[in-house]
């Protein structure tokens, strides 16, 4: 019994320590992003744009392709059920609303967590192991400002953009199936999409994507900074950054979806 309690206690403490570390890093990053620029400490836009290209622009093909496939799958599954009731016209609405409210932000976040969150952890972890972060601090340059803030900015700007691209690609994927299989014209598909989507659907998805972006940057950077040991530590941090970000993304998704559901 005491063994179980000790196990629970130890793990709870570990989780709390992790969350407090995440909070600490986020607070510092928020300071350097939103407060310090008003105190004469300029943002590093050059490195932020570099990160935006790496994490955002370069992810457009993979995010679009995956979203296109998800859109097709969604339309296929929706048509399977809706055709039974002769309601295949609603497949367009199903794909549109699911993509914008839920799957667009989620798929984008999961792909970016795997692609960029892990890269953040690996980059910062390697820098930690090779004493580069210490060297930066030794010069009196703040490592959060130089290394974390550009990644935060990149995620905050690029995740909503990628989510919009994902929404579009998903809806288009659904459209391809509808036009080819459900005897709809492309014009009908466009009209049905326009009718079924409200601005609210897109905006809730974008709010989610902002939160997901923060989670990816936060976890990736925190894991990188916490690397202990050598190459093995970097590997562990990279894996764990993906696992933890995806878990937190889905957890945040539940909370936000519930909030949007109850607040209409």
Partner 1 sequence: MIRVVDLVTHYGERRILNHVSLDIPAGETMVILGGSGTGKSTLLRHIMRLELPSSGHIFIKDQDICYLQEERFNLLRRKIGMLFQSAALFNSMTIEENVALPLHELTQLEDSTIRIMTRIKLDLVGLSGFENYMPSQLSGGMKKRAGLARALAMDPEILLFDEPSAGLDPITAAGIDSLILKLKVAFKMTIVVVTHELASAFVIADRITVMDQGRVIATGTPEEIRQSQHPRVLQFMNRIPEGDQMDAQTYLRTLTQN
Is 3 a binder of partner 1 (CB under 8 A)? no
A 10 A CB-CB count for 210 gives 16
Secondary structure (DSSP) of 179-197: HHHS---HHHHHHHHHHH-
Report d(CA 147, CA 136) in Å as an integer: 10
Number of residues that bind partner 1 (CB under 8 A): 12
Is 137 a binder of partner 1 (CB under 8 A)? yes
A 10 A CB-CB count for 78 gives 22
Is 14 a binder of partner 1 (CB under 8 A)? no
Q: From the CB of 205, what's the least distance to partner 1, in Å?
A: 34
Is 11 a binder of partner 1 (CB under 8 A)? no
Which two three-digit tokens encode residue 195?
Answer: 């009718």
Q: From the CB of 149, what's the least distance to partner 1, in Å?
A: 14
Report d(CA 81, CA 92) in Å as an integer: 13
Is 40 a binder of partner 1 (CB under 8 A)? no
Binding string to partner 1 for residues 141 to 180, with x set by CB under 8 A, is what? x---------------------------------------
Report d(CA 96, CA 187) in Å as an integer: 15
Report d(CA 209, CA 108) in Å as an integer: 8
Binding string to partner 1 for residues 203 to 242, with x set by CB under 8 A, is what? ----------------------------------------
Which two three-digit tokens encode residue 143?
Answer: 């490592």
- Cβ distance 106 to 74 under 8 Å? no
Nearer to partner 1, 14 or 131 (CB): 131
- Cβ distance 240 to 223 under 8 Å? yes
Nearer to partner 1, 62 or 129 (CB): 129
Is 255 a binder of partner 1 (CB under 8 A)? no
Is 130 a binder of partner 1 (CB under 8 A)? yes
Distant-in-sequence, close-in-space partners of 130: CB < 8 Å, separation ≥ 6? none
Q: From the CB of 146, what's the least distance to partner 1, in Å?
A: 8
Using the structure block, give the residue that is written with the tokens 């199903």.
94
Question: For partner 1, which residue of 135, 180, 258, 259 counts as binding (CB under 8 A)?
Answer: 135
DSSP symbol at 41: -
Q: From the CB of 135, what's the least distance to partner 1, in Å?
A: 4
User: Which residues are near partner 1 by CB under 8 A?
Assistant: 126-127, 130-132, 134-135, 137-141
């Amino acid at each position: 019994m005491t063994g179980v309690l000790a196990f629970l206690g130890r793990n709870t403490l570990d989780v709390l320590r992790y969350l407090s570390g995440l909070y600490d890093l986020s607070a510092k990053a928020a300071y350097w992003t939103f407060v310090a620029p008003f105190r004469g400490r300029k943002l590093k836009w050059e490195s932020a744009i570099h990160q935006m290209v790496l994490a955002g622009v370069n992810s457009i093909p993979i995010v679009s392709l995956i979203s296109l496939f998800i859109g097709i799958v969604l339309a296929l599954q929706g048509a399977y059920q809706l055709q039974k009731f002769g309601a295949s016209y609603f497949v367009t609405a199903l794909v549109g609303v699911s993509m914008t409210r839920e799957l667009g932000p989620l798929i984008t976040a999961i792909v970016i967590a795997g692609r960029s969150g892990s890269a953040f952890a690996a980059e910062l972890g390697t820098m930690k192991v090779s004493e580069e972060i210490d060297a930066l601090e030794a010069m009196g340059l703040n490592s959060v400002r130089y290394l974390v803030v550009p990644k935060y900015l990149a995620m905050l700007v690029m995740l909503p953009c990628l989510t919009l691209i994902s929404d579009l690609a998903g809806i288009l994927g659904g459209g391809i199936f509808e036009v080819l299989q459900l005897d709809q014209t492309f014009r009908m598909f466009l009209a049905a999409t326009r009718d079924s989507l409200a601005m609210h659907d897109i905006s809730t998805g974008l709010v989610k994507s902002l939160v997901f972006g923060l989670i990816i940057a936060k976890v990736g950077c925190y894991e990188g900074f916490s690397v202990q040991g050598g190459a093995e530590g970097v590997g562990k941090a990279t894996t764990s950054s993906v696992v933890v970000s995806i878990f937190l993304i889905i957890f945040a998704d539940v909370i936000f979806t519930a909030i949007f559901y109850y607040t209409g």
